[in-house]
Every structure is written in structure tokens, then in C-alpha cells.
A and B are shown apart, each in its own frame.
Chain A
Amino acid sequence: MADRRLTAEEAAALSAALPHATPGRWTLWAIGGRSADGLYRYGLCVSGERHHCVGTAYGATDTEAKANATVMLLWRPLVEELEAVRGERDAALALVGRMSDAIRSIGVAALNWDSATRVSDVLDAVAAARKACEP
């Protein structure tokens, strides 16, 4: 378990921070070099479309600027992956619950072994499990 889960407010604040970011579509441009103000900078734009630049990361050194740009570029995909994996985890958890119910019911039915329909419950649950496990 993680030590700390993000609150809904934190997640919302993060999601609002870079409204134009689309995972997988962002890239860097204007790589490196100090500009007139002495700062290193990386422009953040939609891939292949410089005029859609919607953010800039700065740093006192090229490394610092790139570190800031990296965070800006990747945190939204990180948030989206976390949300997706949470959903997959919850789906798997629900599936285990279904299997639990089905197997528990067949266990009860097995006492008098009138179990044909109960077995079909288990088969359905297993089929759903197999589908969920497919890549």
C-alpha cells in the first residue's frame, strides 16, 4: 500500500494544471541554450506544431530546465495511468467478488448436489476472469 493516497482535491488540482496536455502528444523544442535573461529554457508544445506551444520550463542550468520540463511533460500521463490502473484493480477486485459469490453458492448447492446451474455461475465467472486477464 502507498503511504499516502492523493485526495480528490489534489487530483483535481493536478488535472487542471496543464489543461492542454495530451498524453503522448507532447514534446520539447527550443532545446537548451541561455536566452537573453540568462535562463535555460525548454518549450513545451504539441508534437510537430510549434505554434501550439503552451508552456515553458525554466532553469538556471540546462539540467535544471530539463528536469522541470520532464515533470511538466510526464506528470499528466502519470496521473492518467494511475487512474487507469486503479480502474483495472477495482475491476479485478469486483471479479474476485463475483467468483467468490459464485463459488460460495456452488458450495452451498453441493450439499445436496443439485448444482448444474451453480456450476454455470462458476463457468461464467471463470470465463469473465479469463477475458479480464487477456492483454
Chain B
Amino acid sequence: MADRLTTEQEAALRMGARADAADPDNGTWSRRRSQDVKGAFDIIVTYQKGEQLCAGHILHSDDCDRIISARNAVPALLAELTAVRAEKAALIEAIESIRRAHEKPHGGYENILPDVMEAAGPAFALAKEMKGNG
């Protein structure tokens, strides 16, 4: 089981991925140009969204590409993680619903079926929808 990101970590990650972006949604970070001033700043990173271009961080070359790749991937990763967490939670709730229906006093197996079937309906519909979208 992987360690879970805390809320604070997620927020920090989101901020880090978007730092310096004037309009942080749907843009892309990339190398703009190399610079060799007094051997100090190697690369200027830019953020582009449509025609809008703004200069961003000034990075050393060592880990520049890694940082750019990670920053560009973070929004999609967080969005997918949020979606998959929600899917899992919905499925678990559906399973729990079936379990609760099954645990109710029924007075005989023949009486279990209607309740369980009723609880199972939404779960099966959810599973069918998720398989259709997967």
C-alpha cells in the first residue's frame, strides 16, 4: 500500500506545479531558451497557454527537465487520482449497501433476495458504467 498524500501535501504539490503561472489552468511549462550569463542562470522556463507566454522560473540545467516533466504531469495526476478515489469510494459504498441489506434480519433465505437485489441494482449499474468508461 502506498503512503497516502496528506491534504497539505496535495495543496503544496498543486501550488508547486502552478507557481508563477499567470493563468494556471491547461497551460504547459517548457524550456524557453538557454542563457549563459556569468555562468549563473542556465535555463529560463516558460509557461504557455494559447498565445500567452510568460517567463517563469530560472532553473539550473541539472534537474530542469525532470522538474518540467513533473510540473506538467501533476495536474493530470491529481485530477485522475481524485476521480479514481471517487470511483473506489462509490464502489465500496455500493458493496457496503449490499452487505447491510444482507445483514438485515430476514427470517429466511428466500426473504433475503429482494433486499439484496434492490441494494445491488445501483452497484451493478455503477460497475457497468465504469467498465463502459474504462
* Interface residues on chain A, size class: 35 or more
B73 contact from A75, A88, A95, A123, Cβ within 8 A = A75
A100 touching B16 by the CB < 8 A rule?
Answer: no
A1 contact from B73, B85, B133, Cβ within 8 A = B133
Q: Which residues of A contact B112 (CB under 8 A)?
A: 119, 122
Closest Cβ of chain A to B14, distance in Å, is 9
Taking CB as reference atom, which chain A residue is nearest B123?
A96
A77 contact from B2, B88, B99, B126, Cβ within 8 A = B2
Interface of B toward A, CB cutoff 8 Å? 1-5, 9, 12-13, 15-17, 19-20, 38-41, 57-60, 62-63, 66-67, 69-71, 73-74, 76-85, 87-88, 91-92, 94-96, 98-99, 102, 109-110, 112-113, 116-117, 120, 123-124, 126-127, 130-131, 133
- Which 8 pairs, one residue from A and one from B, show the smallest C-beta to C-beta distance? A67-B19, A92-B91, A70-B16, A80-B2, A89-B88, A67-B16, A2-B80, A2-B83
